[in-house]
Amino acid sequence: MKRLVLSSAVSLALLSGCGSQMVTSDAPATAQQAMQASVVKSPNDNRSYKVITLPNQLEVMLISDPTTEKSAASLSVGVGLLHDPMTQQGMAHYLEHMLFLGTENYPDTKGYSEFMTANGGAQNAYTWLDITNYMFSVNNDAVDEALARFSDFFKAPMLYPEYTEKEKSAVNAEWSMRREMDFFGQFKLARNLLGDHPANRFLIGNLESLGDKEGSNLHEETVAFYNQYYSANIMKVALLGNQSLAELEQLAVKHFSSIKNKEIAEPDVTATIDFAEVGGKRIHYVPNQDIKQLNLEFIIDDNSDQFAVKPNAFVSYLLGSEMPGTPAFVLKEQGLISSLNASADPTRYGNYGAFTVNLNLTDQGMQHREAITALLMQYIELIKTEGVDEKYFQEIRTSLANQFRFLEKSDEFGYVSNLAEAMQNRPAEMAIAAPFHYDAFDADAIRAVLDQLTPERLRIWYVSKQEPHDSELHYYNGKYKVVTISDEEQARWQQPSDLALHLPAVNRLLPENFDIVADTSRTTPEVVIEEPGLEIWHYPSQLFTDQPRGVLEIHINNTAALTSAKADVLLSIWRDLYSLQQSALMTEAGIAGMGVSLSTGTGLTLSLGGFTDKQPALLEQALASLKVDVNAQNFAQAIDRYVRALKNQSKGFAYSQAFGAYSKLLREGSFNTEKLIATAESLSEVDLQVFMNELMAANTLRVFAFGNYDQAALTNVAGELRAVFPSSRQVTDYQTARFWQPAAGTTLVWQQDIEAADVALVDVKVHPIPGAATKAQGRLLAAHFSNIVFDKLRTEEQLAYAVGGFSPGIDEYTGFGMFIQTPEKDVAAMQQRFEDFHAEYQQVLAEMSEAEFEQLKASTLVSLKEPAKNLREEVAPLLNDWYREKYSFDSKQQLIAAMEQVTLADLQSFYQATLLSDDAARINVQMRGTKFADKPFADLPQQTKVNDLQSFHQQMKKQ
């Protein structure tokens, strides 16, 4: 199904369109044109590559990986949202949805998704300003038919007119989910203020922008858009499989060579921006969430063709540095900001980009926004005069070269998607290497960027709940006011600051030694150092023995936060202040190919990862400052961030809030938001100082080292820990948070009003028998169930954009259930639709044949047995077992063994014991949005409404 949670601001903006259907192609095999230049790949990459251009001018990258269990393909079209007709804004995105709904060779609207489900597949698509990208992954033995179905999207889609209203509703539901997100509102306003530039349009689409209107018929314009722009000569394909390059070439020729080449010019945007009208503005923006930001946005010319000399990266490196003397360091030291990030997007507005400096402010910083702006402008001048220095180029190039030398694999699905997009923007042979390739120090290119960081191209964003406003956005929730920055204010930027600024020092943590030192003869995780209160485990990678990297988890186990809201809050404040005070170290480590972070749970966990050469130095510094410096000012600022973050949760995606409440119900150690806020507001810096001393003096330390560590390195870890923790510390028993014990006839219900508009439900019933067998049954059934519920409730009934089925683990038990976020039904009505669907699916499952079941099972096993692609994937199941004290480290193997034994009768019995059972233990979460505030919640038989999490966890039976 569709990806519902995306991982960055840009990918949040990508409009994920489809997880549904489409068709095949029986294109005649024709010879491709001459092979192009060799693909530049990492020395660590053992895959084979070839780029060909088919006779229809469609460029294809072939990737042969004999070890892969999944084949994958992605096709990008060089047209996107900037090319929508103004009469049908959102059309490119709407068309992306429509392509999944059947083709001439495969006319069934749900045939594509059913095929993918049956063959261990995944499918998706996204639309952005100048690209529409479609992708899938599937079991190797199904790739030929998958390509036939997929390639037919681009030859003969049905574009059923009778599905117009349904897909409009799907697009509308997607917009409804995002209309309260501040990113989308601010991005819409940023484009609105560009005047007549093509970027000034509504991107996603909704029921208002898409539809028949005078002089414009939606279906006719959609067909015309497809016929005009979906041409082979502006398409790029990435195709990955376990076949040889020759075999992959045959598949490419077979399936893609008959896509029509309409010989169109690549769609382009050439409109100019009038900076006299657009630049020199301050935008006061009132967000939905309670945030306090200052953002400097410089509109720059598109320089994406300069990827080999990376002027944007060079300037971002200096402007975003956390080293002493830089703006980030100085402003944090003064208590004015909590974060600073500098970045460039050279195509944000099509033929123009944006160089941005984003700052999160403290209350004190809110009072000094003009002074902060002046400081940043002065630092830019410092970079212009002193910072265009080759030493920074050498540092950046070394960092990128190290990353590329040991580049790890990622999942096939995301990999081909990224390559198909990259091929639209740079030569195919550089599609992999371009982000890492830094060819030369080009001072002129760097100065060309710096010369555009001027007041004339600047838009300053003041973002907070307190901003003045005189206008409201259309399509998104946001209020704003735009004013011209006066000449007097700009003149004040030139006045000397009381704060001394310096360019960053040289990075001290770049690795120099890449030797493999781990004892690779160790075949199971073992305790290598054990003493009272300290246990260190080690396990070398079994799959990536040539990687000079490692993952180090240092868990400081303390259970105070499981029962105390005060301890829970103080752990979060500790983590916040640690991250703030160690941001310079974290940034330096990141540049050097390492990472360090502090997380909370049953105590604290300090995590290090990356190249192991300089990890001892990183660990020493990270531990030396584990106890943070706290005073009244920084404590109050941390509390402010904490409270605002809690309150902002009510403005997030409704389904995300529902899953958050679901997780809190099931496991001890959670507290009501109101309780946490009240507790936080009652605390002082003294409380944190006392708490830190108490936790450091009473705990048990457990370390899991995975990867390239030898005994000397682990002995050093032990020594560093002994030096930091008191020799007289009390050793406590190791304990993890315990889960709710499901009991027959028990129904837990959480009901909550939220500030988002939509309704969200999570409804799960629990199988009464714990163990691997039921986990396997649930996982297998969910693969089939999810496709059916998506097709019915999303594609056919258009109730939601986010909808699906899942089989969650509840420690040793297995649940089975549904989730949805809907703008169409109130809570009670949606819950009733869930109940009705339970019975409908029973009939579908009863009609499943043995052959269909065996195919589903085989496909699921392929996914389960798929080897890890990188170190993080390899260590993840081991860490999960380690934290749960499952020292056989075979939970995944147990699941595979259980899956191999599952029968169709087991699936039917599992479903009967969960969603069809009135007696099954149940967890039901209901989030009621503002649109349905006057409608009732849903009452369930034998329900126990949970209102106070702490009280519930104190009395609940635990596993």
Closest C-alpha to 315, from 392, 370, 226: 392
Residue 139's SS3 state is strand
Alpha helices, DSSP H only, in 698-826? 711-724, 772-789
Domain range 275-410+428-492, its CATH number among 3.30.830.10, 3.40.50.2300, 3.40.50.150, 3.40.50.300: 3.30.830.10
Q: Which two three-digit tokens encode residue 236?
A: 């790029």
* Ranges under pLDDT 70 in the chain: 1-36
Q: Is the dihedral of CA 458, 459, 464, 467 positive or negative?
A: positive
CB 556 within 8 A of CB 880: no
The predicted pLDDT at position 801 comes to 86
Q: Report how far residue 38's alpha carbon sits from residue 41's, in angstroms, rounded to the nearest whole number.
A: 9
The predicted pLDDT at position 418 comes to 98
Helix axes 632-648, 565-581, angle to 10 degrees: 110
Question: Strand ranges (DSSP E) for 320-445?
Answer: 337-345, 352-361
CB 815 within 8 A of CB 764: yes
695 φ/ψ angles, rounded to the nearest 5 degrees: -70, -40
pLDDT tens sequence across 139-155: 999 999 999 999 999 99
Q: Report how far residue 712's alpha carbon sits from residue 696's, in angstroms, rounded to the nearest whole number.
A: 25
CB 140 within 8 A of CB 68: yes
- In a 13 Å sphere around the CA of 313, the CA atoms on its Cβ side amount to 24
**According to CATH, what is the number of the domain 747-955?**
3.30.830.10
The predicted pLDDT at position 36 comes to 60
Pairing between β-strand 458-463 and β-strand 293-301 as defined by DSSP bridges: antiparallel
Q: Which two three-digit tokens encode residue 221?
A: 């314009």
Domain range 9-34+46-233+244-256, its CATH number among 3.30.830.10, 3.30.2020.30, 3.90.1150.110, 3.30.70.20: 3.30.830.10
The predicted pLDDT at position 37 comes to 72
The predicted pLDDT at position 499 comes to 87
Helix axes 390-405, 583-591, angle to 10 degrees: 70
CB 128 within 8 A of CB 256: no
Place of tokens 């609940």: 956
| Radius of gyration, CA atoms only, the chain | 28
Q: Report how far residue 424's alpha carbon sits from residue 294's, in angstroms, rounded to the nearest whole number.
A: 33
Alpha helices, DSSP H only, in 767-870? 772-789, 827-846, 850-865
CB 560 within 8 A of CB 577: no
The predicted pLDDT at position 521 comes to 87
Counts for the chain of helices (H) and strands (E), in that order: 32, 28
Q: Report how far residue 111's alpha carbon sits from residue 656's, in angstroms, rounded to the nearest whole number.
A: 29
Residue limits of CATH 3.30.830.10 in the chain: 9-34+46-233+244-256, 275-410+428-492, 526-731, 747-955
Q: Report how far residue 413's alpha carbon sits from residue 329's, in angstroms, rounded to the nearest whole number.
A: 39
pLDDT tens sequence across 865-903: 999 999 999 999 999 999 999 999 999 999 999 999 999
Q: 424: part of which helix (H) or strand (E)?
A: helix 412-425
Q: 918: part of which helix (H) or strand (E)?
A: none
Q: Report how far residue 10's alpha carbon sits from residue 353's, in angstroms, rounded to the nearest whole number.
A: 13
Q: Which residues pair with 360 in a beta bridge?
A: 293, 339
pLDDT tens sequence across 301-354: 999 999 999 999 999 999 999 999 999 999 999 999 999 999 999 999 999 999
CB 260 within 8 A of CB 85: no
Q: Report how far residue 825's alpha carbon sits from residue 821's, in angstroms, rounded to the nearest whole number.
A: 9
Q: Which two three-digit tokens encode residue 490?
A: 């700009």
Closest C-alpha to 533, from 704, 712, 725, 738: 725
CB within 8 Å of 637: residues ≥ 6 apart: 335, 338, 362, 363, 364
Domain range 526-731, its CATH number among 3.40.50.2300, 3.30.830.10, 3.40.640.10, 1.10.3720.10: 3.30.830.10
Please give the model's pTM, rounded to 2 decimal places.
0.92
Place of tokens 């703006």: 327
